[in-house]
Amino acid sequence: MTLLREANERFDTWIGGFDLGRASLAAGLFPQADGAFDTCLNARRGEALALFVDEEPTFAYLPAAHYYQGLAREGLGTAGFRESYDRYLDIRGRSEEDPFVKDLRERLDR
């Protein structure tokens, strides 16, 4: 995670913040993860459309940021986690193959 932080200090990118959020989440650092995903989803949302120089659309990363932010907020015990999950499901909820959809349906049924 230190390497990701240092890399983002040198060259701050949306995908770098997304990866830092995922690493923070995996380490159980829920406040840091929530902050990273909040930046991705609010302050820098438009950058998710074209992350790489090859001009291929990359908007597919944005829904995952909602999923991971929900995990971070659930880990924090924040009531707002459900809103993040609902946003993900609004985008991807019809998918029958998306493992995050299955996970969220199980989490929300509990």
The domain that holds 26 is classified in CATH as 1.25.40
One-letter amino acid identity for 41?
L
| Predicted confidence (pLDDT) per residue in 22-77, tens digit | 999 999 999 999 998 888 888 776 666 665 565 665 677 789 999 999 999 999 99
Angle at 66 between CA 98 and CA 42, to 5 degrees: 150
Instruction: Tell me which residue has tokens 């995996």.
Output: 26
pLDDT at 80: 87
Looking at per-residue pLDDT, the higher value among 9 and 27 belongs to 27
Q: Which of 45, 49, 43, 19 is nearest to 33 (CA)?
A: 19
Which residues span the domain enclosing 48?
2-109
Q: Work out the widest C-alpha separation in the chain, in whole angstroms.
A: 42
Residues in the chain: 110
Q: What's the domain count of the chain? A: 1
pTM over 0.85: no
| Predicted confidence (pLDDT) per residue in 77-104, tens digit | 998 899 999 999 999 999 989 999 999 9
